Every structure is written in C-alpha cells, then in structure tokens.
Amino acid sequence: MSSFDVVIIGSGPGGYVSAIRCAQLGFKTAIVEKYNSLGGTCLNVGCIPSKALLSSSHHYAEIAHFADHGIEVSGDVKINLEKMIARKQAVVDQTVGGINYLMDKNKITVFNGLGSFVDATHIAVAKADGTSETIETKYAVIATGSKPSSLPFIKIDKERIITSTEALALKEVPKHLVIIGGGVIGIELGQVYLRLGAQVSVVEFMDRIIPGMDSSLSKELTKVLKKQGMKFYVSHKVKSVERNGDAVTVQAENAKGETITLEGDYSLVSVGRRPYTDGLNADKAGVKISDRGQVEVNDHLQTNVPNIYAIGDVVRGAMLAHKAEEEGTMVAEILAGQKPHIDYNLIPGVVYTWPEVAAVGQTEEQVKASGTEYKVGSFPFKALGRARASGDLDGFVKIIADAKTDEVLGVHMIGARTADLIAEAVTAMEFKASAEDISRMSHAHPTFAEAVKEAALAATDNRALHV
C-alpha cells in the first residue's frame, strides 16, 4: 500500500495549489482526481473556457466599432462557432497540460479515479477500468469543489435545457437563449451569445442582477447590457421550464403575481452551485457534512476529524477559484507548523463581462447596515483620457471610506480592465490604506488606473481633479 504525508482529493485550483505548496514544504504528497483531466471545474468547464469564449466573442463585437477608429473592413465577417469552441478547448488543454507539468516538477503522485474514505487515514481510489487501490495518508484535504445547482422542477437534459458546462460547447448560436439566474455565470455566458447574435433574456428572482455586489454596480451593468440588447426580468420567480422538440418554454411570475411566458430554443439554468461530496463517503471517516451539503470546518479549515481538512467550494464562503487557492496554501502551511491567515473580506469578486465588474471589501449596503459613518468617492471612466482614447467610456470607480478614520472599507468598479485594477484596491486595503493614501500615490498617465486615484480624491473632501 502506498503511503503519503498528505493526500488531496480533488485537483481544482484549491487542490492542485495545496498539493504544490505541500510538496514545497517537504511533504510526500498525492492528489486524487476522478476525471482524466486535472484542474477541476475552473480549468475544464469554468473560469478558463468561459474567458476564452468571452475573449473570442469580444473580438467579434469590436468589429462593429472599427469604423470609429478609421478601420474599414470590407466583405462579410462570419462567425465560425466550431473553430471558436475548438480554440477554447485548445486553451483548456494547454492550461491543463501546465498542471500536469507542475505535478511532475513537484514530484506529486497523481491518482486518477474516484477518491472515497475507507476511514480517516485510508482512501480508496476507484479507477475507470473497474479496479481499485487503497492509499494511506497522515493528513487528508477534501477539495472536491462544486457542481451546478438547479431547481427541483427543472429537468436538465443537457441538450436544450442546459447548465454552464453545456453552454461552453454549443454547436450553434441560439436564436433565443433564456437564462435562469442573473448571477456572474449567467451574465458572462449571456454576453458571449449576445455578441454572437443571439437574443438573450435573463430571468432573476432577486430585484437586480449580480445581487451579491454593490447595487451601484448592478445598476450600471444592467444599463450597459440593456444598451447592448440583453433583456432582463428581475423580481421574477420561475415556475416551469418545459421542452417541446427544439423549443423551450419558461414561465415566470412577477412581483404582482402575473405570469409571463418566454419562448426560446435554449435555456441556461444558472442558479448557483452546490458543494460536491458525492461518493466521498465522508461519514466513514467521521467527517461532518452540514445541512447545506458543505463540509464543516473551523477557522483553520480543519474538520471535526483532526487530520482531515477541507477547502474551496466544498466549505463555507464564496465559491471562487482564488479563494480556494488561498485556502489550499493556508492548509499546507498549517500542516507545516506555520501560522498563515486569510482575510476573507479582501477576497475580490469579478464579473468578466465587458465592461468588467470588480469589487473588494464591504458594499455600501453592508456599511450602512453596520451603522458605520462613511463617505463615498466616485469617478466616471468617461472623464479619463485613456478611456476616451480607446472608446471604453462606460463605468466608474467607487471608494467607500470610514468617515472618521478615512480607512478604505470597500472598492467597487465597473469599466475597462477593472478585473486587473481591483488588485490595487486589495493591496491598499491589505495595508489598511486610507483614501488619502491612495490619492497621494502617483498613477501613470494616461491609464484606466487613474480612475482609482480620482475616486480616492473624491472620497477625500471631494477633491477629484478631472470631473
């Protein structure tokens, strides 16, 4: 029987990063992955492929604005969806190949098969060929991730009524894509197919899209996407989703109790994700699973069984790849006797539409509810020279600071390159920066990052210079 210091079950961003950090710290490490491809949801059917399609579709959408830049394109410009999907898969394959390389480089043993607990120190690996192998470990890390959620009355057939997984590999551009759920995943994939020519309708139970983010971001993104042609039905509760041949009918009830009917050829069910522990046999190790299906952990990500830890989507908190990575690193360092720490308030969230949406810290609604006295500074992208030069005028940066101490409590931005700009806000908040601190930092001109400086100036006695 093979024996290891640490065995990680699941090879997503949390799992493979944890494995690498364990190996760096001198642990004999193994990783168990049920699929033949490493990387989990993020690399295979999540973050990476969706961004590849967003990038490809963005290039196509940009052609409509070439004339504004003095570029004339003659003849027909056509979409080859098959090639677009193939490029997406090539990006995935290359990225997954990089993980394989990292496993070899760090001398991490990879077991392909379904990992399940025999007891707290033994894990069975059921392989695709029907054979099974049991391995022994001193410590185990559960990193089994999540799967798309659905509604009880919806039958997902993976053909016309689909999840995000199928939406990444369609063989045609939908005529009318009805999206159930206005969260990050639904909105991103909705923009992909909107750009490619589909009619896109979004049905959201809450009163706004991206409801977990600051309401100002939701309002601005809704405005921009409506301008692009996306339709929204917020405060609508889906009652039924039925398929008849190639047609899908979605019925929803609005806040007044009235029923609306949407007819499409595809419906994307994007109502969130659920922790995935199927087949793990956590009970055989004595590990507690909550009523919500999450593995219960303490502040050190340790389960009720002392030698077993859990990270990522399978535990409480935001289901984000970078959050899982931080947790994977944290567990490895705890096992090595170090004292790492994660400030969950400083885990940024991003929506990779165009304009991009990004945020870190508390929303204005949260600050207001806490009773903290605060001030807000905001700066529009349309006032930036760089934004005018590129034509990316939508959006703004908003900084919320404590009215008494000037410490930055939250940064919320929508606009070009905000997925990258948010790192400046995370860095500032990590070091307890004040709005004035940010306002006194020199920002290169002309850049989109100047909007961060100007928003900080606006939050500091309304001192913005360029608006």
Whether 327 has a binding-site annotation, put simply, is no
Whether 204 has a binding-site annotation, put simply, is yes
- Interaxial angle between packed helices 13-24 and 321-335, expressed in degrees from 0 to 180 and rounded to the nearest 10: 30
Whether 128 has a binding-site annotation, put simply, is no
Task: Name residues whose C-beta falls within 8 Å of residue 285's C-beta, 6 or more positions apart in sequence.
Answer: 117, 119, 120, 140, 305, 308
Tell me how far CA of residue 98 lies from CA of 22, 94, 108, 410, in angstroms.
Answer: 18, 6, 14, 35
90-94 CB contacts, 8 Å cutoff, 24+ apart: 91/48, 91/49, 91/52, 92/39, 92/43, 92/44, 92/48, 92/49, 92/52
CA 382 to chain centroid: 27
Closest CA to 273 of 145, 168, 359, 160: 145
Whether 227 has a binding-site annotation, put simply, is no
As annotated, the active-site residues are 445
Tell me how far CA of residue 405 lies from CA of 367, 374, 402, 435, 437, in angstroms.
Answer: 14, 9, 6, 10, 12
Whether 319 has a binding-site annotation, put simply, is yes
Report yes or no: 20 and 98 within 8 Å, Cβ to Cβ.
Answer: no
Whether 317 has a binding-site annotation, put simply, is no
Whether 229 has a binding-site annotation, put simply, is no
The token pair that represents 320 in the structure block: 């984000």
Answer whether the bond into residue 49 is a cis peptide, omega within 30°: no
The token pair that represents 250 in the structure block: 């979605």
Closest CA to 111 of 128, 95, 125, 131: 125
Whether 144 has a binding-site annotation, put simply, is yes
CA 297 to chain centroid: 22
Whether 9 has a binding-site annotation, put simply, is no
Whether 182 has a binding-site annotation, put simply, is yes
Whether 14 has a binding-site annotation, put simply, is no
Opening angle at CA 326, ends 413 and 399, nearest 5: 20
Whether 272 has a binding-site annotation, put simply, is yes
Whether 185 has a binding-site annotation, put simply, is yes
Whether 212 has a binding-site annotation, put simply, is no
Mind giving me the DSSP string for 255-288?
TTS-EEEEEESEEEE-S-EEE--TT--HHHHT--
Whether 145 has a binding-site annotation, put simply, is yes
Task: Name residues whose C-beta falls within 8 Å of residue 294's C-beta, 6 or more positions apart in sequence.
Answer: 275, 314, 315, 316
Whether 181 has a binding-site annotation, put simply, is yes
The token pair that represents 230 in the structure block: 């996306």
3-class SS at 238?
A: strand
Give residue for tokens 């990575």: 325
The DSSP element (H or E) to which 146 belongs, if any, is strand 146-148
| Binding site members for NAD(+) | 181-188, 204, 272
| Binding site members for FAD | 51, 115, 144-146, 313, 319-322
| Binding site members | 51, 115, 144-146, 181-188, 204, 272, 313, 319-322
